[in-house]
Amino acid sequence: MPNSRKNKLNYILILLLIMIFLTTFRLLWLMYHDPLAHPIAQNGVLDLRAHEVDDQVINLDGEWEFYPERLVSPLEINSNIEEIVRTIPKAANEASTRRFGTYHLKILVNENSDDVFSIRIPPTNTASALYINGHLKGGSGVVSTDIDHHIGKGNPYVVSFSVKNNEIDIILHISNFDTSYGIAVKNPIKFGSSEAMVKKQRFEGVLLIGMVVILFLHSLYCILIYVFIHRERIILIFAVGFLLPATDELITYNSSTMEWLHLNYEWSFKLKELVYLGAALFLVLIMSVLLTNFKAYKRFRWFFICYGISALFIILLPLNYLLEVNIIFFILYTISFLSVAFLALREYFQHKDESFFIALVVISSTSGILWGLIKELFELEIPFYPFDYLCAILGLAVFWFKRYYRQGRQVVKLVDELKQADKLKDEFLTSSTNKLWNPLNKMTTIAQSLHDQNHSSLTKKDKSDLKCIVNIGKSMSFVLNDLLDFTRLKEQMIQIHPKSTNLHAAITSVFDMLKYSAEGKQIELISTVPTNLPNVLADESRLIQIFFNILGNAVKYTYTGEVVVNAEVYNDMAIIYVQDTGIGMDKETQEQVKSAYKQGVPNDEGLGLGLNVSEQLIELHGGSLQIKSEVGIGTKYIFTLPLVNEQDQKSEEIKMDLHENVDDEQDEHLISKKTRHILVVDDDPSNLKMISGIFPAAQYKVVTVTSGTAALKLLDVTEWDLLIVDVTMPYISGYELTALIRDRYSIIELPILLLTSRNYTEDVNVGFTLGANDYVAKPINALELKSRSIALINLKQSINEKHYMESAWLQAQIRPHFIFNTLNAISSLSTIDSDRMDILIEKFGEYLYGSFKEENLKRVIPIENELNLVKSYLYIESERFGDRIQVKWEVDDPITVEIPPLCIQTLVENAVRHGILSKGGGTICIRIANYKDFTKIEIIDDGVGMDSKQVSKVYDDENTFGKGIGLINTNRRLKRLYGTGLKIKSTPNIGTTVEFIVPKNTTSATIHV
């Protein structure tokens, strides 16, 4: 505890010493620039005849003649015009009521003085013009007696002149219509020899430009680092932050900067305020990042909000209002600076790394800010002083140097750790490869043994499955060997045993191994290697490994076309070409595909080692590997191997067609309606083979295709119970295929199960958003895939059965008394009008046929069939009730839309029975309007109508019993198909309008089985 207090006292002492040093240096700077003792003006006259001004600059302080509200010309200055005496410099509030006026001073110098003199006019409110001995020498803005001609600038300026006698007559016109601060001159007017004035300005200019250049260079360095090296937010903050103090100093101490911008006084003032605000914000922002212990300090966020609001005030408020609220900005700066200083000192006292330099930055910046506030509050003239900013920049530079040094040491340490981790990884991979290779080899051996034995119980399909397992096992053994070889190659532990090797034999062997990989693809593996090509000097097993990796890569990314192997002899080397017609690679992929663990296609299931291992093996043989590729055209692999000095050997050209036609398996007559039909879409034939074996052939008919295009062609072959789709496929991805299928089939009509290699939330969300029912992550677990598939199939079957029950329920809604009453009407007409009886019998038959035919079990039917049923029904009711039923038809022509069965009939029957007949009679209107994107169907009656309670029952999907079930069922079916149901408008004793919308983009999705 005593040590902690002692340390804190030491820290405080160090900071006090820094502050004392900066303050002392500032005071010495002021003393150095303080003018020597000189006379002051009295009653408008300054006598310098006894004072030499050849090598110094003095202030024209004292009593000037002042002519308020008059712009006195040099010719009028000695006339009898009333004047008053005013002191310069003077506080602004002492002349706040004056809008324009004239200051006059006469300077007496030694006679016969040939010196050139200069006068510097400080910033004034807000326009000024300077006359020397009756001549206009300079000005800022346009001085005027009215606001219309006044133009405020308020910039300082210097004029030079020579005198012919011992008198210098100075007239200064000032006008201010921009602010309420009047025309008082707050800062001293400088006077001296031109040489002394130039020397003083040059000295300040060199310091100013030097500091500005330093700040701009730091900003440039930060921008270059951000663009080319390290894109971190702190770097960009520094880049902008260094610009703001540089700009603030430049526009404060260099008047020519503001002249370049050609801004009026108001926007010049606002620009200065915004730049100063930005410089202050930079200090807060930089500290919010550098103070590691207080990054979550909540006040930082409030400071940023306040600074943003202040910037809006500066931009939007008029100048007079802005001057009034300037005190608020002062309070904001003070609070934010004190808070930042407090936090920096807290971290400094906690003895954090590099915290001393942060404290140095804060102390230096605070010193500069405090002296700036002193200058404004006490209206002091303080010469340009760059050392506070330079000290802050030095603190930041040392801070970044130490942080860079510390991070450099951390990088070296991390590199050592990564090397050790890489070594451990290689050891782990070697160990894991050996442990995986042994059981894999046993599995492959057992499968090969079963395949080779003559078991009568094994069918051709069993033999094919066993052969597929053997091939997959061999392929996996090559992958594991690549992994093991990659580790050995890194450690330079692999030795090759070259011998005379026949290139044709190696190619043929690899073609046989790759046959299963090309199964289901429209690919030809072709060898055009000349029969007389000499043998190559190579390790046979390694040569097969090289060909397997390169050809396997070509087959993997080629979906249609051919993979051709060719070779030629050049300078005792065999140049071997492997050309495919696959997807190709761009230049960036070509550069990285030969690197370890780099893959040509995102989310590829391989390890990305094949080409890297092949290249190293080729180089061990004394050859080289090149890759040339174009996207969408194909890839050419070119590698060289040394030849043996033997006689040309004859060999026959091998050309294998590995395309397996699956059309015979997809013939419609082979699909049994007693089984469940599953369509599997995956570009990997081994996955298709594996998935097909999961589902028993007695219960499931599994059809496999390798592309989304082929799957779309098969959609109408039968009514599929399930689609299993791989997400990662060429040309048409699983996501895109799902979206295309959902344009034709709803999520209920055709379940889709996605196979995804990325079990991430965003991937699963995309699949469900596009219409998938479920997903299974790779590697595929057979039990999980089968369970989820069966669940989806059973769900579809249950929903279909429910739909059939709904249709049967609608058919059952034909009440027996309707049939009995119709038969009575037929019987009555038999004795009155036999012709009408015949027509009624015909319409009654059409009605019964339309109500009970099997087509009503479909999802949708042509609207023409539905309207025929409605016409039959209305004819029967018109015959029964005569003029009590009036029918109006308003149907656009043509109407080719398809609608759910018995939907219009249900609405019409409800309107007749419960609407117009309950009222004693009325009119029913069937209106069908054809629009661009949809068809609107309306059933309008002028019957008894419904109240809001009755209408709400129709919209209640939970109501499945009682009256109105036909409307409820129809509303539910429409919502299920189109997303929207019935829209009912009804008024008791006036009538009812029932309408629904049929979108045109869904009406063509009818499935015909």
Tens-place pLDDT, residues 448-481: 667 766 665 777 777 777 777 777 776 676 667 6
pLDDT band at 172 (very low <50, low <70, confident <90, very high): very high
**666 falls in which pLDDT band (50, 70, 90)?**
very low
CA–CA distance, 472 with 478 (Å, rounded to integer)? 10
Angle, vertex CA 973, rays to CA 895 and CA 712, nearest 5? 70
Enter the tokens of residue 979: 């997303």
Q: Residue 702 in contact with residue 678, Cβ under 8 Å?
A: yes
d(CA 654, CA 652): 6
pLDDT value at residue 656: 28
What Cα–Cα distance (Å) separates residue 19 from each residue in 23, 65, 337, 801, 836? 6, 44, 16, 88, 117
Please return the burial class of 723, using the count of CB atoms within 10 Å of its CB with bins 0-12, 13-18 and 19+. buried
| Centroid of chain to Cα 163 | 71
pLDDT at 401 (0 to 100): 74
**pLDDT range class, residue 927, cuts 50, 70, 90:** very high
CATH topology of domain 676-809: Rossmann fold (3.40.50)
Cβ-proximal residues to 803 (8 Å cutoff; 6+ apart), any chain: 857, 859
Cβ atoms of 317 and 261 within 8 Å: the answer is no
- Which three-class secondary structure string do you get for 888-899? EEEECCCCCCEE
Q: Which pLDDT band, with edges at 50, 70 and 90, does 338 fall under?
A: confident
Distance CA 537, CA 643 (A): 5
Topology (CATH) of 35-203: Jelly Rolls (2.60.120)
Residue 668 burial (CB < 10 Å; 0-12/13-18/19+)?
Answer: exposed
The residue with greater pLDDT, 809 or 39, is 39
Flag whether pLDDT at 174 surpasses 90: yes
What's the whole-number mean pLDDT along residues 72-85?
81
Instruction: Reduce the DSSP state of residue 47 to 3 states and report it.
Output: strand
Buried b (16+ CB within 10 A) or exposed e, 410-425: eeeeeeeeeeeeeeee
* 189 pLDDT higher than 70: yes
Q: 554 has which bridge partners?
A: none
**Poorest-confidence range of 200-204, 494-498, 851-855?**
851-855
pTM over 0.85: no
Indicate whether 1 pLDDT > 50: no
Which amino acid appears at position 430 of this protein? T
Residues 883 and 872: their CA atoms lie apart, in Å, by 17
Which percentage of the chain shows pLDDT scores above 90? 10
- Which amino acid is it at 420? Q
Average pLDDT, the chain: 78
Number of residues that make up the chain: 1009
**pLDDT at position 664, please?**
36
Q: Any idea what DSSP says for residue 664?
A: G
Mean pLDDT of 376-405: 73
SS3 per residue for 568-591: EEECCEEEEEEEECCCCCCHHHHH
Query: Does residue 60 or residue 556 have the better pLDDT?
Result: 60
Domains 498-649 and 676-809 fall in the same CATH topology: no
In this structure, of 540-554, 879-893, 951-965, the range with the lowest mean pLDDT score is 951-965
What CA–CA distances, in Å, run from 366 to 10, 14, 25, 372, 390? 21, 16, 15, 10, 13
**Residue with the larger pLDDT of the pair 20 and 491:** 20
- Please give the Cα distance from 721 to 736 (Å, whole number): 20
pLDDT in tens, 304-318: 888 889 889 888 888
The predicted pLDDT at position 439 comes to 76
Q: Of the ranges 410-414, 858-862, 943-947, which one carries the lowest mean pLDDT score?
A: 858-862
| The pLDDT value given to residue 730 | 66
Shortest CA distance to 843 belongs to which of 867, 868, 808? 868
Structural contact between residues 61 and 89, judged by C-beta atoms closer than 8 angstroms: yes
Strands 752-756 and 774-777 come out as parallel
Cβ-based neighbour number of residue 674 at 10 Å: 7
The dihedral built from the CA positions of residue 370, 372, 373 and 379, taken in this order, carries a sign that is positive
Question: What's the pLDDT at 640?
Answer: 92
pLDDT bin (cut points 50, 70, 90) of residue 295 is low
What is the architecture of the domain spanning 498-649? 2-Layer Sandwich (3.30)
pLDDT band at 752 (very low <50, low <70, confident <90, very high): very high
d(C-alpha 1002, C-alpha 739), whole Å: 14
Q: CA-CA distance, 339 to 46, in Å (whole number)?
A: 49
Q: How confident is the model at residue 667 (pLDDT cuts 50, 70, 90)?
A: very low
Mean pLDDT of the 17-39 span? 79
Residues of the chain with pLDDT > 70, as a percent, come to: 78
Give the pLDDT score at 5. Answer: 60
* 8 Å CB contact between 912 and 924: yes
Read out DSSP for 188-213? Answer: PPEEEEHHHHHHHHHHHHHHHHHHHH
Encode pLDDT of 622-631 as tens digits. Answer: 898 888 888 8
How far is C-alpha 420 from the chain's CA centre? 37
Say how far apart CA 960 and CA 281 lie, in whole Å: 67
DSSP collapsed to 3 states, 249-283 = HHHHHCHHHHHHHCCCHHHHHHHHHHHHHHHHHHH
Q: Residue ranges of the domains in the chain?
A: 35-203, 212-410, 498-649, 676-809, 813-999
Q: What is the 3-state secondary structure (H, E, C) of 823-881?
A: HHHHHHHHHHCHHHHHHHHHHHHHHHHHHHCHHHHCCCEEHHHHHHHHHHHHHHHHHHH
pLDDT: which is higher, 852 or 698:
698
Q: Is 761 exposed, middle or buried (0-12, 13-18, 19+ CB in 10 A)?
A: exposed
Phi, psi values for residue 79, rounded to 5°: -80, 175
pLDDT in tens, 347-362: 766 655 566 777 777 7
Q: Which CATH class is domain 813-999?
A: alpha beta
Give residue for tokens 């108001």: 266
Residue 915 CB partners (closer than 8 Å, separation 6+): 922, 924, 941, 942, 943, 944, 945, 991, 992
| R_g over Cα of the chain | 48
What's the pLDDT at 93? 52
Q: Per-residue pLDDT for 517 more than 50?
A: yes
Q: What pLDDT score does 132 carry?
A: 93
Res 639: pLDDT: 92
d(CA 549, CA 543) in angstroms, rounded, equals: 10
| Tokens describing residue 164 | 């012919």
User: What's the pLDDT at 520?
Assistant: 64
Quick one: average pLDDT of 115-143?
89
Residue that has been written with the tokens 């059933």 in this structure: 939
